[in-house]
Amino acid sequence: MASPVALSPPTSTPDVEARLALAEQLLACDEPRQCAERVVAWLARQGQPEVVACLAREPGTGRLVCLAARGLSDAGRAALELPPDAATPPLAEVLQQAAPRFFAPPRTPLPGMGCLAVPLGREGASVVGLLLLSAPSAALPPDVAWVSTHFGPRLAALLPAAPRDWAGGELLRRTLDTVADPVLLTDLEGHPRIVNARAEVLLVAGPDASEGRRRATELNQQVFSAALASFASGVASGVRRREVPLVDPVEGIDLLFEVVSTPVVEPDGRELLVSVLRNVTDLGRATQALGESYRRLRATEREARSERHRLDRVLDSVPDPIILSDPSGGMVMMNGPAEKLFATHPDSGEAALRRLRSNNAAFSSFLANMLDAGGQPRWRGQLSLVDPATGATLPMEAVASKVLGDSGELTGIVTLFHDRSEALEKARLLERVKEGSIHLEARVQAATAELAEQNEMLRRQAIQVEQASAAKSQFLANMSHEFRTPLNAILGYTNMLLQGVSGELTPAQKRNLTRIDSNGRHLLEVINEILDITRIEAGRMPLNLSDFGLPELLQEVVAEVDPIIARSKLLVTTQLGPRVPAVYSDRQKVKQIVLNLLSNALKFTHEGTVEVRAEYVAATSTVTISVTDTGIGIAPAHQEKIFEDFQQVDSSPTRAYGGTGLGLSICRRLATMLGGRVTLQSIQGEGSTFTLHFPRRARRA
């Protein structure tokens, strides 16, 4: 059983020189094991005990480690180094109670001998080690007491602190663990001594932690250490604050902590830091957001300002006056043109001021009317303002619009003025233009009416002309009847007399009657031709189309002029070209044309031949009937003229040839009706060829 050690009174004066020597050695030494060696060696020399050993508590584990020993085997050392709570509870008791103790055999740490256990450490602080000496009794040798007093603090200073073995114990630790913020005690370099649960998560990786988590905690430790190191180099002392960005090893998200570090001095005099980390991540974000909002606010403000400037410029650029009033009618803002009408200037003259007051009064009255009118969002009115500079009247139209707030409350009134001088002038001009146009319209109507009247007149005239033409035709038809009726009698009686119906005639009577007969026939011919022209011109000679053959037609024509041929010395022949087909045309008219041409040929030919020839031109489906004579011929200058009405080559009163001069004119008109024409080839003195060309198949006009 161990018993407390009583300090024996000093029996002899201490060996001061030896103690000084040891103290010097210890001061020169800063390595615990070395110091322990020297202490053990010194004690062994001074007191001559059988066994001396110096043990130290290992930081962290609390295991006793033999720093130095004399008189002990390796096995004896090892036996001492067992954990105090397991094999050597007696030593643990010494460590806990921090008082020297004697262990008598057999229950002794040193097998077979009495043992003194002297705790080592700072006064009032935890024990860091033990001195073990073999001793016969519980009396503590003075040198041992001295060594323990001086070597204890030294050893405590040299030995690394035991973080886990920290005064305050488990309760304090649990208390710390409940703190939501990470709390840790570190040395100045940031090596942790005590960490609470939250700090452990951030800075310590367990042995079974994942690779990612380990790296995160390492990174955090580095950052944290760097932050603390900067503290050390920075402010000298006191509470220090700093923001440290760390990584949440579990979530992998960035966190921002405010580190508040407070230096504490350990009992052994070492400076440590208690750091409390406050998670300001959200705060940081909030701050950031706040900054962003502020920037935006500034930007918006700038924008608003520039918008305002822009608006000002826009308003000023509007030539019409614009006024912004507050809900009570006070002017808030006005553009340049409005200023000219409503704003007083220091240098305004008396007259100008009077006019400005008048304008303002007019405007106030206008606004008052508007506000009195109530709910209408717009108000329109006519204001008669005065130009302050000249005094000229300005007829204005004012349009006021209410500016409503978000909740519909009236926040202002914008009034826009529009100078109506121009509009009035325009209206006046428009009025004049309208008057002019009405006048013009009246004139147009009059002109139109006149035109219509003239049209009507023309129409009536056309009818009259038509009627006159019809009357002329009718007249000519009647006249021809009236001509013919007596002529019929003249020719008839002449014919009868010549036939001797009234008895035999003398040769002279017969000759004279023959002359009456011949002149009567000529007159009839003239009347017939005039009648033909009239009928053609009146459109009263229709086409009578039919199929007929040309040989028969030519025979008929020649037969009709047979009496004339018989009286002449001419050879008259008819020729038919190859493959002349039957034609479809107006037989009567073809016959009349050919007869006329043949009559002319006989009339103007004194000797030689007259040939009537019909041919067919397949390429153009045209039939030609030509009459060729060996007569007097026609000079080129007259070749066109002879087809005109009443024209003969010789139109003198003493001309050699009779006839109306209508024959070729009629031929030309009839040929046109058939869709054809009459052509002439002639050499004066040698003869002429008149040719009728007409389509084999006539088309109804």
Number of Cβ within a 10 Å radius of residue 342: 20
Q: Which of 416, 477 has the CB closer to other proteins?
A: 477
- Residue 539, interface with other proteins (CB under 8 A)? no
Binding pattern for the stretch 555-594 against other proteins, x by CB under 8 A and - elsewhere: ---------------------------------x------
Q: How far is the CB of 664 from other proteins (least distance, A)?
A: 21
Q: Which one of 544, 546, 575, 651 is in contact with other proteins (CB under 8 A)?
A: 544
- Residue 501, interface with other proteins (CB under 8 A)? yes
- Residue 233, interface with other proteins (CB under 8 A)? no
121-129, 402-410, 489-497, 692-700 -> range binding other proteins (CB under 8 A)? 489-497
- DSSP-assigned beta bridge partners for residue 237: none
Q: Which one of 539, 542, 551, 636 is in contact with other proteins (CB under 8 A)?
A: 542
- Residue 492, interface with other proteins (CB under 8 A)? yes
- Residue 514, interface with other proteins (CB under 8 A)? no
Q: Which of 474, 681 has the CB closer to other proteins?
A: 474
Whole-angstrom CA distances from 179 to 170, 176, 184, 277 are 14, 5, 11, 11
235-243, 492-500, 636-644, 664-672 -> range binding other proteins (CB under 8 A)? 492-500
| Residues of the chain by 3-state class (helix, strand, coil), percent to 5 | 50, 25, 30
584 is written with which tokens?
């479809």
**DSSP letter, residue 517:** H
Binding pattern for the stretch 422-461 against other proteins, x by CB under 8 A and - elsewhere: ----------------------------------------
Q: What is the dihedral of CA 227, 232, 236, 237, to 10 degrees?
A: 70
Phi and psi of 620, rounded to 5°?
A: -110, 10
- Residue 477, interface with other proteins (CB under 8 A)? yes
- Residue 491, interface with other proteins (CB under 8 A)? yes
Helix (H) or strand (E) holding 629: strand 622-629
426 is written with which tokens?
């325009």
Which one-letter amino acid corresponds to residue 596?
N
Q: Which one of 496, 635, 683, 701 is in contact with other proteins (CB under 8 A)?
A: 496
Whole-angstrom CA distances from 19 to 25, 31, 43, 69, 136 are 10, 19, 10, 19, 23
CA nearest neighbour of 103 among 134, 147, 128:
134
Q: Which of 351, 489 has the CB closer to other proteins?
A: 489
Q: How far is the CB of 556 from other proteins (least distance, A)?
A: 17
- C-alpha to C-alpha distance for 666 and 595, rounded to whole angstroms: 12
Q: How far is the CB of 487 from other proteins (least distance, A)?
A: 6
Q: Please tell me the count of residues contacting other proteins according to CB under 8 A.
A: 25
- C-alpha to C-alpha distance for 622 and 210, rounded to whole angstroms: 120
Strands (E), 269-409: 271-279, 322-325, 331-334, 378-386, 393-404
Q: Which one of 434, 459, 481, 699 is in contact with other proteins (CB under 8 A)?
A: 481
Q: Which one of 493, 512, 581, 641 is in contact with other proteins (CB under 8 A)?
A: 493
Residues in touch with other proteins (CB under 8 A): 477, 480-481, 484-489, 491-493, 495-496, 499, 501, 524, 528, 531, 535, 540-542, 544, 588
